[in-house]
Chain A
């Protein structure tokens, strides 16, 4: 087991290197030059050459990548070409916002999906099941941003501005700069709509998967045995059925992380949140190479690590699975 974990952790390195390298090459093959944007109206060919030299942009792409990597190992993520701000600092400011959004949205998803799936599976083909499956079907068919728009219409506009439609208020103690709104209640108000918008779609997918695998599991012999030996319904459902039904579900949820990252970008854009998603998309569109690299690095690491965690969760959920 320990060897397996170590091997998997070591495999993260080449994957992250590959992803960041591909992003690096792709960004530099994009038409348009950040130097032109930086110099603006004052653009002259001489200045452009100087600026390119200053940022090392005149070197071959692979050399640039190696230089970027070398600095990264020393903890230097580079500085934004356009604003001059250190990338690491910006990323760290924005990371907590996105983390809060994603964690809460997964919470929303679990709170909705687990009861819905259990009810759906245990009362298969009743109105409760039909409601759960229909709502789940609708849920998987609505893109996050449209759920967000609907929530905006209901809670920020319809109900007299009950919840704010955009912006962000930080949790006490997390304010990254000198000036920013800080309050617990304000934070809850601002995160609620985005978290629900992002969570509902996940909840729908989770409900469908979990209901299907619950249906399979409750027909197995060990569940019948558990019932036959007089075990109560609660331990049968939660200890025997749910735990086993979660195994295939978790695999797919791991694969869903790629969609979650896209969802975060979209939801943050819609609600104008100062998170990593808006940071990334702004950087990509502005062709701010260093910022994009920082964003890609963080996303890649998160993606790979979550998939690793998913694999490791198996051993907890199914002790029969042993890795050599």
Chain B
């Protein structure tokens, strides 16, 4: 250990050439192995090929793609403002002027559903990424160094996991006091991210525990490679597959959690358009205006379905054993 960091926990073993696969050898800095360069690309190419063969995964990719476009170009796509109310046109039935009708404030439902995509995707994606950026390093450090750090990190994670997730998310949102606009969205993102951090920490710690015993990590240490380099260059890429799958499927879950919080009145506050909130607000008028709560609900369903299909396809493509 050049930096005098972690002591070797494993018994030193002689490194024999045959114990290193060709693909692993390319991972060791300074070892050139021209033929292996192509083969080490293989798993990724293979995964892409498998993904492209799965119809359901492609449907998922298509749905997610369309939603991303809608979210980015919401201002252009929405025929009207999602916020401005028009008291002369309340509860309009779906028509050419208002394809999805208007709500009790005379706001165009189509525009609200289109703009709602932003909140849903923003919260879904950013909460999962936030959880990933905090959870993955925590899990790596806990798994790689073990000992007291491991115990401390995992105890805290266990405490979060000991909570029923909705109880914690609801309490966090009440603590943050829900507001409208970007700040309100960030609060929801934070609350959902906190709930999701332990999922990553556990997942990564588990993978790291087995990876750090591998010969190529030992080889790195023998070569005097520093810990951060080992962690990010050699350990992380090898536990990437489950992380990617968890992330994609996690976005689906986060979108449901966001919609649920909004439904309970604890998400992003009005007038910011949010599907969960719109659905809840319009349930009150369900008797006479059934379509109003239908469209936000369908939008949530479609978005979650897209990420679920994509995630399922990715899982099958990245690790056929997980099927």
Contact = CB atoms under 8 A, between A and B. Distances in A.
B293 interface: yes
Interface string A103-146: 00000000000000000000000000000000001101111111
Contacts of A262: 164-167, 169-170, 257, 260
A143 to B, nearest CB: 5
Given A143-B300, A145-B297, A153-B290, 15 more contacts: A26-B171, A32-B177, A137-B56, A143-B301, A145-B263, A153-B294, A157-B287, A258-B164, A262-B164, A262-B165, A263-B166, A269-B263, A284-B170, A285-B265, A300-B163
B290 A18 contact: no
Interface string A165-178: 10000000000000
A212 B252 CA distance: 20
A265 B264 CA distance: 9
A22 B159 contact: yes
Chain A interface size, under 10 / 10 to 19 / 20 to 34 / 35 or more: 35 or more
Contacts of B283: 149, 152, 270
A26 B323 CA distance: 41
Interface stretch (B96-104, B130-138, B302-310): B302-310
Contacts of A150: 297
A219 B174 CA distance: 50
Interface string A17-51: 01100110011011110000000000000000000
Contact of B305 (A15, A27, A141, A285): A141
A299 interface: yes
Nearest to B255: A143
Chain B contact residues: helix, strand, loop or mixed: helix
A143 B262 CA distance: 12
Given A27-B171, A29-B175, A143-B259, A18 B162 contact: yes
B8 interface: no
Given A138-B305, A143-B304, A146-B301, A258 B165 contact: yes
Interface string A250-274: 0000000111011101100110000
Interface in B156-185: 159, 162-167, 169-172, 174-175, 177
Interface of B: 56, 159, 162-167, 169-172, 174-175, 177, 252, 256-257, 259-260, 263-265, 276, 279-280, 283, 286-287, 290, 293-294, 297-298, 300-301, 304-305, 308-309, 312, 323
B308 A258 contact: no
B55 to A, nearest CB: 11
A259 B166 contact: yes
Contact of B264 (A22, A212, A258, A281): A281
Nearest to A304: B162
A265 B166 contact: yes
Contacts, number: 121
Given A141-B304, A143-B259, A262-B165, A153 B170 contact: no
A296 B167 contact: yes
20 contacts: A18-B162, A22-B159, A30-B175, A140-B308, A141-B304, A142-B304, A143-B256, A145-B259, A146-B279, A153-B290, A258-B167, A259-B165, A262-B167, A263-B166, A265-B264, A269-B264, A284-B171, A285-B174, A285-B265, A300-B164
A156 to B, nearest CB: 9
B263 A18 contact: no
A77 interface: no
Nearest to B297: A146
Interface of A: 15, 18-19, 22-23, 26-27, 29-32, 137-138, 140-146, 149-150, 152-153, 157, 165, 212, 257-259, 261-263, 265-266, 269-270, 280-281, 284-285, 287, 296, 299-300, 303-304
A153 B291 CA distance: 10
Contact of B286 (A32, A157, A300): A157
Nearest to A140: B308
A142 B260 CA distance: 11
B294 A266 contact: no
B149 to A, nearest CB: 21
Given A23-B171, A281-B264, A141 B301 contact: yes
Contacts of A299: 164, 167
Contact of B301 (A26, A142, A265): A142
B121 to A, nearest CB: 15
